[in-house]
Amino acid sequence: MNQLPTFDDVVAASKRIEGHAHRTPVVTSRTVDEAMGAQVFFKCENFQRVGAFKFRGAFNALSKFSAEQKRAGVVAFSSGNHAQAIALSARILGIPATIVMPEDAPAAKVAATEGYGGNVVRYDRYTEDREQIGRDLAEKHGMTLIPSYDHPDVLAGQGTAAMELFEDVDELDALFVCLGGGGLLSGCALAARAMAPDCRIYGVEPEAGNDGQQSFRSGQIVHIDTPKTIADGAQTQYLGKVTFPIIQRDVDDILTASDGELVECMSFLAERMKMVVEPTGCLGFAAARQMKAELQGKRIGVIISGGNVDMARFASLLTS
Ligand SMILES: *Cc1c(COP(=O)(O)O)cnc(C)c1O
173 C-alpha to center of ligand 1: Å? 23
* pLDDT, tens digit (0-9, with 9 covering 90-100), for 164-183: 999 999 999 999 999 999 99
Looking at 153, 211, 232, 278, which residue is catalytic?
Answer: 211
Give the CA radius of gyration of the chain: 18
**CA dihedral (35, 306, 11, 288) positive or negative:** positive
Instruction: Give dist(CA 285, CA 305) in Å, integer.
Output: 11
**Do residues 174 and 200 lie in contact, with contact meaning Cβ atoms separated by under 8 Å?**
yes
Which is nearest to 276 in space by CA: 40, 47, 22, 28?
A: 47
76 C-alpha to center of ligand 1: Å? 15
SS (H, E, C) 24-65: CCEECCHHHHHHHCCEEEEEEHHHCHHHECHHHHHHHHHHCC
**Do residues 109 and 80 lie in contact, with contact meaning Cβ atoms separated by under 8 Å?**
yes
Measuring from each residue's beta carbon to the nearest atom of ligand 1, which residues come in under 6 Å? 52, 54, 80-81, 148-149, 158, 178-185, 233-234, 236, 278, 280-281, 305-306
43 catalytic residue (yes or no):
no
272 C-alpha to center of ligand 1: Å? 24
pLDDT score for 188: 98
Burial 140-160 (b: 16+ CB within 10 A, else e): eeebbbbbbbbbbbbbbbbbb
Neighbouring residues of 80: CB distance < 8 A, sequence distance ≥ 6: 109, 148, 232, 233, 308
Neighbouring residues of 260: CB distance < 8 A, sequence distance ≥ 6: none
Q: What separation in angstroms does the CA of 70 have from each of 15, 75, 81, 111, 317?
A: 20, 11, 22, 24, 41
133 C-alpha to center of ligand 1: Å? 22
pLDDT score for 45: 98
209 catalytic residue (yes or no):
yes
54 catalytic residue (yes or no):
yes
Q: Which DSSP string do the residues of 257-308 spell out, in sequence order? A: E-HHHHHHHHHHHHHHH-----GGGGHHHHHHHHTGGGGTT-EEEEEE-B--
Looking at 180, 209, 212, 240, which residue is catalytic?
Answer: 209
- 19 phi-psi bin (left φ>0, alpha ψ -120 to 50, beta other): left
33 catalytic residue (yes or no):
no
45 catalytic residue (yes or no):
no
φ, ψ for residue 52 (rounded to 5)? -165, 160
SS3 161: helix
Neighbouring residues of 261: CB distance < 8 A, sequence distance ≥ 6: 282, 286, 289, 290
Residue ranges of the chain with per-residue pLDDT less than 70? 1-2
Q: Find the Cα–Cα–Cα–Cα dihedral 294, 235, 247, 84, rounded to 10°.
A: -110
Looking at 54, 118, 134, 186, which residue is catalytic?
Answer: 54
Largest CA distance in the chain: 57
pLDDT score for 102: 86
Looking at 14, 63, 79, 148, which residue is catalytic?
Answer: 79
Neighbouring residues of 202: CB distance < 8 A, sequence distance ≥ 6: 174, 175, 176, 177, 251, 252, 253, 254, 255, 284, 287
pLDDT score for 149: 97
φ, ψ for residue 241 (rounded to 5)? -70, -25
Closest residue by CA, ligand 1 atom 3: 233
Partners of 248 in the β-ladder: none
79 catalytic residue (yes or no):
yes
DSSP 226: P
Instruction: Give dist(CA 19, CA 40) in Å, integer.
Output: 27
pLDDT score for 2: 66
